[in-house]
Amino acid sequence: MAEFVVPEAVPVRLSRADTAVVVVDMQNDFCHPKGSLFVPTSPETIPRIRSLLDKFRRSGARVFYTQDWHGKDDPEFSIWGVHALEGTWGAEIVDELKPFPGEVVVKKLRYDGFYGTAFDHYLSMHGVKNLVVVGTVANICVLHTAGSAALRWIKIFVPVDCVSALTEFDLKAAFRQITFLYRGTLTRSDLVEIA
């Protein structure tokens, strides 16, 4: 069997008119050491995501968020335990990445940010053809949301320094699916240009 080598992160130039970024699940339960499903490498992605968002906001490109959001008897708790419980501190987006007024936060029930949400509607309404996907967990909600966008023929771009997972293998597995299956592009926060 051939060994998978993660493709190199490449520079990308995107137009503000048809590009958006989605910040996936950067919530206290995943990104804060006191969170119930803490991803230890997620805090180091926060300043990089922040600088990427600054670029998007400066250019006028759209910024979206997903927020994992469960009721108290959600069946997902049988897999992961209680997390992102609606209305709790754990479900809140981390302070450093709080959405700006007017930015859409898509509350989601499953790994896929499109499932049962209005995300599709927002992207098509604004003519989004390129979606930059950042956040956590790389092989779970980031991958499912990126994949779901790609299935709709939206081009996906994933800055490798802005995603995090529980293991190196999980991270690589996500990069494999993003590039091989969904034909997405791996880039880096400092290599994304938006104008």
List interacting residues with Zn ion (CB under 5 A): 68, 76
Whether the bond between 137 and the residue before it is cis, its omega within 30 degrees of 0, is: yes
Instruction: Look up 129 and say whether it is catalytic.
Output: no
| Coil vs helix vs strand at 37 | coil
Q: At closest approach, how far in Å is the CB of 35 from Zn ion?
A: 12
Contact 98, 58 (CB under 8 A): no
CB of 76 to Zn ion, least distance (A): 5
Contact 162, 133 (CB under 8 A): no
CB-wise, 80 or 122, nearer to Zn ion? 80
What is the DSSP pairing of strand 62-68 with strand 192-194?
unpaired
Longest dimension (CA), the chain: 50
Token digits of residue 187: 């880039």
**CA nearest 192: which of 28, 12, 25, 62?**
12
Nearer to Zn ion, 18 or 76 (CB): 76
C-alpha torsion angle, residues 165, 168, 170, 172 (rounded to 10): 110
The verdict on whether 108 is a catalytic residue reads yes
Nearer to Zn ion, 64 or 111 (CB): 111
Cβ distance to Zn ion smaller for residue 147 or 187: 147
Shortest Cβ 125–Zn ion spacing (Å): 26
CB of 94 to Zn ion, least distance (A): 16
Q: Residue 68 or 161: which CB sits closer to Zn ion?
A: 68
Q: In angstroms, what is the minimal distance from the CB of 92 to Zn ion?
A: 14
29, 68, 112, 141: which is the annotated catalytic residue?
Answer: 141
Q: Per this entry, what is the length of the chain? A: 195
- Which of the residues 31, 68, 108, 162 is marked catalytic? 108
Name the token pair of 38: 């803490």
78 contact partners, CB below 8 Å, separation of at least 6: none
Catalytic residue numbers read 25, 108, 141
